[in-house]
Structure 1
Amino acid sequence: MKESIESTPTYIFATRNYYFSNYNLDRVSIKSYFEMFFPGIADFSDYVFDIVPRGFVNVGYFILDKIEFFGLLEGGVVLNLIISSGTKDSDWDNFIKELRQESIYSTFKFGFSWYYDNYSGIELGYRSFLLGKNSPLRFIQGFTTTDWIYNFVSYTLYTENGP
């Protein structure tokens, strides 16, 4: 007996693999981050997931022991979609090219960070889009709690007011 599609379990998954470095040279800090993000959805018969590389370079100057003035350049793109269906044609290739173009984003932000311990801090700053202001990835940009709050507020305003 075949199950109906409504009763088939569906799984949403995501994995992140990243490299982070933090170098302090006297009062200057240099941070870099590179991430491969693999979100997807699957059931027992089909799957789709995408490959999203993202990264940033941050340069900061500690004006006090725990307060840093920083500038950060970040970017990301949906690189590819991997699907279980073998029916890929020229329309699929065009779709992937268009998706890459629409998803690419780059931001620049600057501001101050107050580090309340060796690993955590609070940011106050300004963010500007250099590319991809309408990219769907704009809602997952950043790497800090401050970025997550910004993304949540941005997404909430987007859903209430539209693009």
Structure 2
Amino acid sequence: MLLDNARQLGADVREGTRALGAQRLEKSSQHVITWEDDAGNSGSITADFVLDATGLSHLLTKGERVYDENLNNFAVYGYLQGAEWKVTFSGSPDRSTVFIAAIEHGWIWYFPLGRDLMTVGVVTNRHHFADKLAGVDLETFSGSRCARAPRSQG
């Protein structure tokens, strides 16, 4: 859904294509991205904005990444089918807002994916999870946190 929406909004979306490297142009916010696709074609593109979603391979910051121990988080997430969502955007039942709830030692996200489907995630610091919740299964952990979360008043 995200890719289709990005395409509709004019983004250059390429599936079956791997970014091989990224180099920032000197004195510029632009990057040159080298790529290769599944058919063996390769090339480079220049972009004003680059979203690096390469995860741990951290394509754009290889060798430069600085880790902040305070941002060492752990997330447990799942999907709720048949979820009733109260908050609408601009009065339209087809468009909903996301909801973030602060809880002790973290937060919970509620992201609507459709009229009756949402993803729910519980985020806490990895050390809190490891130290305080050892032996607790993930479903019990996320369920107990969601049960104590504030409710939307939409």
TM-score tier after normalising by the smaller chain length: under 0.3
- TM-score, scaled relative to structure 2: 0.23
Higher relative contact order (CA 8 A, sep 6+): 2
